Structure 1
Amino acid sequence: MKHAVSEHLDTYTEQGALRLSIVATLLVALFGITFGLLSGSFAIAFEGFYSLLDAGMTIIALMVTNLIAASSTIGPQRSRLNQKFTMGFWHLEPMVLGLSATLLSSAAVYALIGAVQSLLNGGRELEFDEAIFYSVVNLAICIGMASFGFNVNKRLGSDFIALDAKGWLMSAFITAALLVAFSIGWAVQGTSLAWISPYVDPAVLAIICLVIIPIPLNTIRHALIDVLLITPTELQERVDLIAKRIVKKYGFLSYRSYTAKVGRGRQIELFFIVSKNLAPKRLEEWDLIRDEIGAAIGGESPDRWLTIIFTTDPEWTE
């Protein structure tokens, strides 16, 4: 049983790291919602809900990474998957990243509206002792998980883990802001500034939301680029450089290249237009040229989809 659990949460794999983050996020979410209700702080309750939403998105991300990993393995499971998804699962990755980032920003917009309404209605009273205790504990957890995520991703290089680590870092900033605000609210009680106490919670929530809302926008932009199959400039330039060299080396007439980045997948299609008068070659010789091109492009892995075609008819390249 212990071995099964450790294997399930193996941080040397993308799936294991995400599972560990999901467990921690769910615990933090329940902790936040509980203390938000006890202290009367909508800011804390929002942070708990935000964490719960983040956990849901991470679970979906984990499902996608499992599908991508399963489609890259050898065995009956891969055969069943490939029969239904012959083009792979890369397209799901930017869709999930974009959806996750959009939902997180939308939740912050909704909370901002609520915070402004609360400020206009005179704020709300809360128990600062419980709020400060929550902030200290949660800040330590968030910093620890953010550090864990960034360190693990130095080895794995996963967009999902990168987004998850940024989520923990955002949560740490949120909690730090809450701690400062609640400490100020607690300090002014019984003084001439006590009138500001009811405004502390909605004010800090509004500030937090204004900070959070733009953070996922870059992830949304990159996800849209992948979903819309916008040609990646660096990859296209590299492929064109290699194709021109091959055309010159083997005396081909010209070429056409098509590239796209979809999540972690790279899709490359190369069409070489060959003269009808070119001396015949055996299939093995054409395969050797393909091997040469593939080696020059590099990055051979289950995440590279490379198609190389030789033809005398330019219409096949369009």
Structure 2
Amino acid sequence: MNNEKQLLKFSVYGALFFALLAIIWGVIENSKIILFDGIYSLISVGLSLISLFTASFMAKQDFDRFPYGKEMIEPIIILGKFLVITILCLFAFFSGVSTLLSGGQEVNAGSGLAYAFIATVGCYLVHIFLVKKQKVNGSGLVEAESQQWLMDTFLSLAVLLGFLLSLGLGYTKYSHLMPYMDPLMVIVVSGYFLKVPITNMGLQIREVLDMKADTKYLDLCQEIVAEIEKEYQFQESFLRVSKSGPKLFIEIDFVVSPEGWQPNLNEQDNIREEILSKMKPISLKKWLNVAFTNDRKWAV
């Protein structure tokens, strides 16, 4: 968990650096697209600080108030983060439309190109670093941070391509279109990136509503339960799997035939141990509950 906090702190400092760089550069060059990039990064700083606070809060044990753990807090926080990003993209989109309709604005394409190159390379390096660390750490909060940096990378890349196009227009008979390039970039980039937070919000809503887990977890659990049911000749089985942040909740009910083999307590524990052992490929924390009954009504 300490490693998670260090990664979140690194993300905060990185976002703060790029936010200040973009805002100062955007104000000096009077560029809405660079300002949009800077404001996005600045909001990322606030969101990263919330993630850091959340990680610290989740690390503290509080069984009395949170008997099932604090993992549910994670998807709620991530949902909030992507909601804020959605609002930012919508605001930038309509701001770009307004500027475009009012005649655009002059921007130094060469200076903008220099900023966009620095931002693109820098954001991508941070994203790669967080992705590598997240694979080891397994933190949903760090994964959300890496997604934010990936969005910022593509945003900066789009700005880079836009300024390249704008610079190219200056050497053609269409140079009069250059003032429209900056607001047009804002419209295209913010409109395109709306799909990223919206898609991720859908995933987090599934976790908050305790809906069934992703197939990559569900399929393995179904395979394991089917094997156990066949191996011990149970009459029937019922499986429920849901994901909440870094924890996977798994409930399995086996209906034991009254005429068949009746496992005692030690044998039941051995079966639970066997199931848990087969679930090792799943890296998430597991809340495993395995029950046995002769009466189907307790399993449905």
Whether these two folds match at TM > 0.5 is yes
Would the alpha carbon gap of residues 281 and 50 (structure 1) be closer, same or farther in structure 2, given more than 3 Å must change?
closer
Paired AA for residue 116 in structure 1: V
**SS across alignment from 2:67:** coil
Uncovered stretches (5+) of structure 2, i.e. residues with no partner: none
Would the alpha carbon gap of residues 167 and 229 (structure 1) be closer, same or farther in structure 2, given more than 3 Å must change?
same
Question: 1:154-193 alignment to 2 at 5 Å?
Answer: 154-185=135-166, 193=174
Q: Which residue of 2 aligns with 1:258?
A: 240
Identify which of 7, 11, 20 aligns with 1:30.
Answer: 20
Q: Deviations over 1:156-215 (max 9, x none)?
A: 344433332332233233223323433554566698544223212111111211221222
Q: Which residue of 2 aligns with 1:97?
A: 78
Structure 2 CA distance, aligned partners of 1:280 and 1:16? Answer: 50
Q: Which residue of 2 aligns with 1:73?
A: none
Paired AA for residue 265 in structure 2: L
Q: Which residue of 1 aligns with 2:276?
A: 294
Would the alpha carbon gap of residues 35 and 237 (structure 1) be closer, same or farther in structure 2, given more than 3 Å must change?
closer
Q: Which residue of 1 aligns with 2:134?
A: 153
Q: Report the TM-score when normalising by structure 2.
A: 0.85
Q: Which residue of 1 aligns with 2:47?
A: 57
- In the alignment of these two chains, the number of paired residues is 299
1:311 Cα deviation after fit: 2.3
Paired AA for residue 291 in structure 2: I
Uncovered stretches (5+) of structure 1, i.e. residues with no partner: 1-7, 71-76
1:276 Cα deviation after fit: 4.7
Question: 1:186-225 alignment to 2 at 5 Å?
Answer: 193-225=174-206
Q: Are positions 1:316 and 2:284 aligned together?
A: no
**SS across alignment from 2:288:** strand
Q: Deviations over 1:95-137 (max 9, x none)?
A: 2222222321331122111111111111123344553443343
Identify which of 52, 63, 68 aligns with 1:87.
Answer: 68
1:54 Cα deviation after fit: 1.9
What's the % identity of the aligned pairs? 26
1:285 Cα deviation after fit: 3.2
Would the alpha carbon gap of residues 214 and 67 (structure 1) be closer, same or farther in structure 2, given more than 3 Å must change?
same
Q: Deviations over 1:271-310 (max 9, x none)?
A: 2223456677653333223222322333587810001112
Q: Report the TM-score when normalising by structure 1.
A: 0.81
Would the alpha carbon gap of residues 172 and 234 (structure 1) be closer, same or farther in structure 2, given more than 3 Å must change?
closer
**SS across alignment from 1:84:** coil
**SS across alignment from 2:228:** helix
1:50 Cα deviation after fit: 0.7
Q: CA RMSD in A?
A: 3.0
Q: Which residue of 1 aligns with 2:255?
A: 273
Would the alpha carbon gap of residues 141 and 112 (structure 1) be closer, same or farther in structure 2, given more than 3 Å must change?
same
Which 4+ residue blocks in structure 1 deviate beyond 6 angstroms? none
Would the alpha carbon gap of residues 281 and 199 (structure 1) be closer, same or farther in structure 2, given more than 3 Å must change?
closer
